[in-house]
Structure 1
Amino acid sequence: MQEEDELSAESAIHIDRLKAIVEETIREEQLIINNLLHPPAEVLNRGQRVSDKVARFGGSWKFIIIFGVILLVWIVFNTLAPNQQNFDPYPFILMNLVLSCVAALQAPIIMMSQNRQEEKDRIRSENDYLINLKAELEVRSLHQKMDLLLQEEIKTLYNAQARQISMLQELNGKLDKLTR
């Protein structure tokens, strides 16, 4: 009867240890889960929205085709039009000026958008890190649980073996008394 009480007390202690491990894991993971489920809202000002739109359009085939058509029309018109109507005769100095201005304005706008994309990538990598950290915490918790289970199993086997040895010694003693 006393052995059963000891076993049930050991089982209760064992269960309490497992509960403590689970509660600790839940507390550790709560911050990670909260950050993943509720990322900070991205607040964009007007300039950032414009730079994103310009970069999106400036880096598309639509822009390249439209710009190519405009340049082709510019060159054809200024080459074939009578001298009074062509506003930018060959070597197309005005067109070169317009192209330089477009490039000069478009480059910093695209760089602003790339900086914002870099910030998004940084946030994404932080989220990946948090997910990896969460997985690592879960693996660590599983290791702790397995270690605890193994310790308890070894302890139980050791106690059972000790009881069996004492029972065998008792039986051996009784056999010695009977054989005498």
Structure 2
Amino acid sequence: MSRYLVNNTVKEAELITDNLANPPKEILTRGQSISDKVARFGGSWKFIIYFCCFLLAWIILNSSLPGSEAFDPYPFILMNLILSCVAALQAPIIMMSQNRKEEKDRMRSENDYLINLKAEVEIRSLHQKIDLLLEEQMKQLYQHQVKQLELLQQIQMQINKAS
């Protein structure tokens, strides 16, 4: 299928690839936009630092308050529940974003393959053209050589007659 596409586009001298350097603006659903933002923030040092500060504040606050006033006393069961919920929600959201990026990468690699295939076809075509040109030049050189030999023979005959 791709070879057929490449051969047709070469014959028709059309572009075979999409402009991936400046693609058209992608239309994202609200969920895709949110998953991209969550993935961008959840995979950053900013998130790690904020989350560590939040956990440290949680631990210090619950450890320093007297037992009856602490809302999550040591072993911090509520904090563990919140951490589990964050991980359970954040992982699939990040995976959604990564799946979309993977699809873009797949399209980009398919585009690269088509470019390479087209380049190979073009190079083969140029080789054939050069071979034809060389063959034609060889024929012309041979014809010139034959004419030169005939002229040399005529000159030789004239020299022989004159002497």
* TM-score, normalised relative to structure 1: 0.74
**1:111 Cα deviation from its structure 2 partner:** 0.9
Matched, 1:81 2:65: yes
Map of 1:36 onto structure 2? 19
Give the deviation of 1:176 after TM superposition: 4.7
Is residue 130 from structure 1 mapped to residue 114 from structure 2 by the alignment? yes
Q: Is the 8 A contact 1:25 1:137 kept in 2?
A: no
Correspondence for 2:150 among 158, 161, 166: 166
Where 1:90 maps in the other structure, the secondary structure is coil
Q: Note if contact 1:54-1:110 (Cα within 8 Å) is conserved in structure 2.
A: yes
1:147-158 to 2 correspondence within 5 Å?
A: 147-158=131-142
Look up the match of 1:11: none
What TM-score does the superposition give when structure 2 sets the normalisation length? 0.81
- 1:85, distance to aligned residue in structure 2 (A): 2.2
Deviates more, 1:165-174 or 1:71-80: 165-174
Question: What residue number does 1:97 align with?
Answer: 81
Say whether the 8 Å CA contact 1:29–1:134 is kept in structure 2: no
Q: How big is the shift at 1:120?
A: 1.3
Contact 1:29–1:137 (8 Å) recurs in 2: no
**Contact preservation (8 Å) 1:25, 1:138:** no
Give secondary structure in 1 for the equivalent of 2:14.
helix
> Tell me, which stretches of 5 or more residues in structure 1 are unaligned?
1-23
State the shift of 1:47 in Å.
Answer: 1.2
Structure having the larger proportion of residues in helix: 1
Which whole-Å CA distance do the structure 2 matches of 1:130 and 1:43 have between them? 25
Distance 1:69 1:160 in 2: 89
Unaligned runs of 5+ in 2: 1-7
Post-superposition shift, 1:28? Answer: 5.1
Structure 1 residue 114: Cα displacement: 1.2
Is the 2:63–2:74 contact (alpha carbons within 8 Å) kept by the matching residues of 1?
Answer: yes
Structure 1 vs Structure 2: percent identity of aligned residues? 65
Deviation of the 1:177 alpha carbon: 4.5
**By how many angstroms is 1:175 displaced?**
4.2
Change over 3 Å in CA distance of 1:25–1:102 after alignment to 2: closer
> What stretches of structure 1 move > 4 A for 4+ residues in a row?
37-41, 175-179
